[in-house]
């Protein structure tokens, strides 16, 4: 019998967050815990010891989700893993409905924007923004509206008894979202991964000792490069209440864990604050098809 994992997601069942959660914890019996907002997700994971969380952090088309970086930092939770999900948008309706009957399509603004090219051939259909892709599908099913369709993941059609009228209507087929898996303790298989030399990524956050000093950020990056640490992403956000000062979120990859630890020790004196958000294994990426 598989071990159980409770995983908090943003949105209702059938969302992309659920797909990513089930893929990351594919060897476990997953119980999804829907949360209305990301704030609610981080709060619940902090309060419930056995609860994991998964949250979108960046997308290949629209970039970083900056508010989630802030929530992650402020939560005190640790990143224990990642998963990169290929985003597929499907047009779904009540059984028996044809595309000629549709007058409105409801979905998250990002999903609608990524499918606009498809609807150029259907000028009579209005695109209506909603809170969530899966929630849009759920409401179509619950309200029984034959003239309303939803754009959502295929799993939502299965859950809510809808038919997929057109699959994969997104314009860009190279659309991936990166999700981070978070936990209160940060101990999920960590010792085992270290023993197997599988921890090869880290997420850190830091502020600089003297934000006005020329080349202060460059010095940090030079030290990391000296130790053979590859910076795969850097995201800067303003420090609230301190004009023109910034906090830096950085993702690192490395082949030698010991050299990574040494690099962190070397850059600490250059920073006014530095926190390791998590150390983990490079995550899988879903199939592009």
Torsional class of 14: left (φ above 0), alpha (ψ -120 to 50), beta (otherwise) = left
Catalytic residue among 24, 25, 118, 177: 177
What are the C-alpha distances in Å from 76 to residues 25, 106, 195, 210, 283? 22, 35, 25, 25, 22
What is the rounded end-to-end Cα distance, in angstroms, of the chain?
31
Candidates 104, 110, 88, 90; CA nearest to 157 is: 90
- In the residue annotation, 179 being an active-site residue is answered as yes
Q: Print the SS3 string covering 214-277.
A: CCHHHHHHHHHHHCCCEEEEEEEEECCCCCCCEEEEEEEECCCHHHHHHHHHHHHHHEEEEEEE
Q: Which of 179, 206, 248, 254 is catalytic?
A: 179
DSSP at 184: S
Helix, strand or coil for residue 50?
coil
- Per DSSP, the three-state class of 6 is strand
Task: Report which of 6, 2, 35, 36 is spatially closest to residue 21, judged by C-alpha positions.
Answer: 6
Taking the CB of residue 8, how many other CB atoms lie within 10 A of it? 24
Q: Is 177 an active-site residue?
A: yes
Please give the positions annotated as active site: 177, 179
């Amino acid at each position: 019998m598989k071990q159980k994992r409770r995983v908090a997601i943003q949105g209702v069942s059938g969302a992309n967050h659920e797909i990513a959660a089930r893929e990351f914890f594919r060897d476990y019996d997953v119980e999804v815990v829907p949360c209305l907002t990301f704030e609610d997700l981080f709060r619940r994971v902090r309060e419930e010891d056995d609860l994991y969380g998964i949250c979108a952090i960046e997308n290949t088309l629209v970039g970083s989700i900056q508010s989630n970086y802030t929530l992650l930092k402020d939560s005190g939770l640790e990143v224990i893993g990642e998963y990169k999900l290929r985003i597929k948008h499907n047009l779904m309706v009540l059984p028996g409905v044809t595309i000629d009957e549709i007058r409105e399509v409801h979905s998250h603004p990002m999903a609608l924007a990524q499918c606009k090219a498809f609807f150029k051939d259907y000028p009579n259909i209005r695109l209506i923004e909603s809170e969530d892709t899966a929630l849009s599908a759920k409401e179509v099913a619950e309200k029984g509206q034959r003239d309303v369709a939803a754009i959502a993941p295929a799993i939502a059609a299965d859950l809510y008894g809808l038919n997929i009228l057109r699959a994969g209507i997104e314009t860009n087929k190279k659309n991936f979202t990166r999700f981070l898996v978070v936990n209160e303790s940060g101990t999920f298989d960590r010792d085992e991964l270290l023993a197997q030399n599988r921890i090869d990524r880290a997420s850190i956050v830091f502020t600089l000792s003297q934000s006005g000093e020329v080349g202060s950020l460059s010095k940090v990056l030079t030290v990391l490069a000296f130790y053979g640490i590859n910076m795969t992403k850097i995201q800067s956000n303003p420090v609230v209440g301190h004009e023109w000062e910034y906090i830096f979120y950085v993702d690192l990859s490395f082949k030698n864990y010991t050299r990574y630890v040494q690099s962190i020790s070397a850059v600490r004196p250059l920073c006014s604050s530095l926190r390791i958000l998590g150390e983990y294994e490079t995550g899988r990426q879903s199939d592009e098809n």
